[in-house]
Structure 1
Amino acid sequence: MLSRTGQIPSARRPLPQDAVDRPLAAFRRDYADGESTGRHSHARAQLLFSLSGVMRIATDTASFIVPSGRALWVPAAEPHSVLVAGTVRMRALFLREDAARAGPAGVTVMATSPLMRELILAACEEPLEWDEHGRGGHLAALLIEEIRRAPALPFGVPEPREPRLARLAAALRADPASPLSLDDWAARIGASPRSLSRHFRAETGLSFGAWRQALRLAEAAALLAQGVPPARAAAAVGYASAPAFGAAFRAAFGVTPRGSEGRTVQNRQ
């Protein structure tokens, strides 16, 4: 089959999907809660999709939360690691260089249409070297077009690299509901608020407040995907007001928290 359960992808042990002479090849594997791939890369671009659970993908410059029903585009040779929350049923596509031109230039969380989802699942039933003039060829052509048209979603959070800012970011990731202000954090890391604000923007491209909101909303999306009710997800990431959370979530992702929760997919395949 084009998508076979195999070893965890690794730069040291390339998968057949990294080299097969087809525009794309599919791969599937189920991961247990808490399992991690470790840092690795692939010769080809990937589209990672989960039928259930939440994938947390870290690159050298950002972290991404990918709830079930969404996908992550990873360019060729991009080092990354995957940590799963809940049982994750991953379905992935590996794209040859010519086909990968349909995707974005950088790591991107993408919305997946119902058609794209079904095409990914159908590709997983094809042999590794599918008939280029038959069903496999038609599926590949449609998948490439769906990838080209897929909207990007703001589920990525830039990661500061400066050691003090990295410690701050790790603390907020561990406790996104922390009420500490910019002044409080500045005192904790030994910097002035103005200096902290300037360095944070230089490192991430965002103000401290915008970065913290992006983190909180991404973490809330992960909770919603695991079945946590919107009010509880809002409180868990630091929103005292459910309406304020709903407005911020809708502005960022284009759907209400309850609408996002309802997109969790746990049926076939």
Structure 2
Amino acid sequence: MSPNGQPATRPTQRLAALKRLPRPVYGHAHALPNIALGYAHRHPWAQLSHAISGVLEVHTEHAFYVVPPHRAVWIPANTVHRVTCTTGTCIRSLYLDQAANCRRTTDCRVLGINPLLRELISTFSGLPVDYEQHGADGRLVQVLLDQLASAPEEDMRLPLPGDKRLRGLCQRLQEHPDDATGLAAWALPLGVSEKTLSRVFRRETGLTFRAWRQRLRMLSALPALERGERVTDVALACGYESLSAFIAAFSQQFGRSPGEWLRGNTKAASVT
């Protein structure tokens, strides 16, 4: 209940009821739904969701994004999306109106978050909702926006096809990344040739079927690695018959081995 005895309003309801943000950047830790909203929704402001710990997964009509710990996802205004996450994920969200839109993009981006930006997001989440724009708080916000504008993008995106023939195929593989069914076998029930399906797949996603499936498997591995599962078990769950093949594919995709990736996350956590 609220202090006046009326039923308390949930943060999600309060956010949806806003006609405009109280400040160009809005992100008080206790005034926002810092939880994953697993239903499709959109809002008239850009959103930044920072994974302090755990792994976020953002689903849009055209792509699937994986946001590992100490990264963030930038979601442009009016983008229909839904968010899922692993158990124990801790999120900090910011909402930015047009005046504070420091990244001019029409689709989502996964951003690397350096220690300074993490501290800025954390500090900002404790400011009053109606922070003083022309004082110290306003200057902190400007530094936050400058850091967000220059944050590097990370390739954690899996493009999704619009073609109905491919939607079911991709959904099956997302649910079962270890499925080794070849494109020829997928083409048969669809009544098209393997060559035609391959051409459509590349046109719709910008990737070959093989490259798309490998990226899917690598992105699918991240939540399991973050949960502390054995690398060998993760490799098998992602459809790799040998640990060495999985490590090689992981290193090719992310520029470092699974062990190096985990150590990097641990190091980042130690300075938050």
- Fold shared per TM-score above 0.5: yes
Deviates more, 1:98-107 or 1:212-221: 98-107
Q: Deviations over 1:190-229 (max 9, x none)?
A: 3211011011111111111111111111111122222223
2:24 matched residue in structure 1 = 23
- Give the partner amino acid of 1:81: R
Offset at residue 15 of structure 1 (A): 4.6
User: How many residues are aligned here?
Assistant: 259
Give the distance between the partners of 2:243 and 2:137, measured in 1 at CA: 46
Match of residue 84 from structure 2: 83
Q: CA–CA distance in 2 between the matches of 1:84 and 1:207?
A: 28
Partner of 1:101: 102
2-structure distance, mates of 1:93, 1:8? 14
1:261 aligns with 2:234: no
Identical aligned pairs, as a percentage? 34
Point out where structure 1 has 5 or more consecutive residues left out of the alignment: none
**Pair 99,250 (structure 1): closer, same or farther in 2 beyond 3 Å:** farther
With over 3 angstroms needed to count, the CA separation of the structure-2 counterparts of 1:120 and 1:235, relative to structure 1, is: same
Flag the 1:98–1:70 CA change in 2: closer, same or farther, 3 A: same
Q: State how 1:177-192 maps to structure 2 within 5 Å.
A: 177-192=178-193
CA distance in 1, matches of 2:27, 2:180: 44
Comparing both chains, which one has the higher relative contact order based on Cα–Cα distances under 8 Å and sequence gaps of 6 or more?
1
2:11 match: 7
Q: Distance in 1 between matches of 2:126 and 2:120?
A: 10
Work out whether residues 9 and 40 of structure 1, in 8 Å CA contact, stay in contact via their aligned partners in 2.
Answer: no
Alignment match, 2:62: 61
What letter is aligned with 1:8? Answer: T
Residue identity opposite 1:75 in structure 2: P
Is 1:10–1:42's contact at 8 Å kept on the other side of the alignment? no
How far the C-alpha of 1:107 sits from its partner, in A, is: 0.5
Unaligned runs of at least 5 residues, structure 2: 1-8
CA contact (8 A) 1:10 1:40 kept: no
Answer whether contact 1:45 1:95 (CA < 8 A) is retained.
yes
Alpha carbons of structure 1 residues 178 and 10: separation in structure 2 relative to 1, 3 Å? farther
**Which shows bigger deviation, 217-226 or 130-139?**
130-139
Change beyond 3 A, Cα 1:101–1:244: same
RMSD over aligned Cα atoms: 2.5
Q: Which of the two has higher C-alpha Rg? A: 2
Over 3 Å counting, the alpha-carbon distance change for 1:27 and 1:220 in structure 2 is farther
Contact 2:102 2:146 in 1 (8 A): no
One-letter amino acid of the counterpart of residue 224, structure 1: L
Aligned equivalent of 2:242: 241
Question: What residue number does 2:233 align with?
Answer: 232
Tell me: CA distance 1:30–1:102, structure 2 relative to 1, closer, same or farther (3 Å): closer
Quick check: 170-179 or 223-232, which moved more?
223-232
Moved over 6 A (4+): 265-269
Name the aligned partner's letter for residue 233 of structure 1. Answer: V
Relative to structure 1, the CA distance from residue 266 to residue 163 in structure 2 (aligned partners, 3 Å threshold; closer, same or farther) is same
- Is residue 145 from structure 1 mapped to residue 150 from structure 2 by the alignment? no
Deviation track 1:141-170 (CA, whole Å, cap 9, x = no partner) reads: 221122122111111111112222100001
1:109-258 matches, cutoff 5 A: 109-258=110-259
- Going from structure 1 to structure 2, the CA distance change for 1:178 and 1:64 (only over 3 Å counts) comes to same
CA shift for structure 1 position 266: 6.6
TM-score, normalised to structure 1, is: 0.86
Distance in 2 (alpha carbons) for counterparts of 1:255 and 1:50: 20
How many angstroms does 1:235 deviate by?
1.8
Offset at 1:74?
A: 0.4
CA change 1:143–1:243 in 2 (3 A) is farther
Secondary structure in 1 matching 2:260? helix
Alpha-carbon separation, structure 2, partners of 1:54 and 1:6: 24
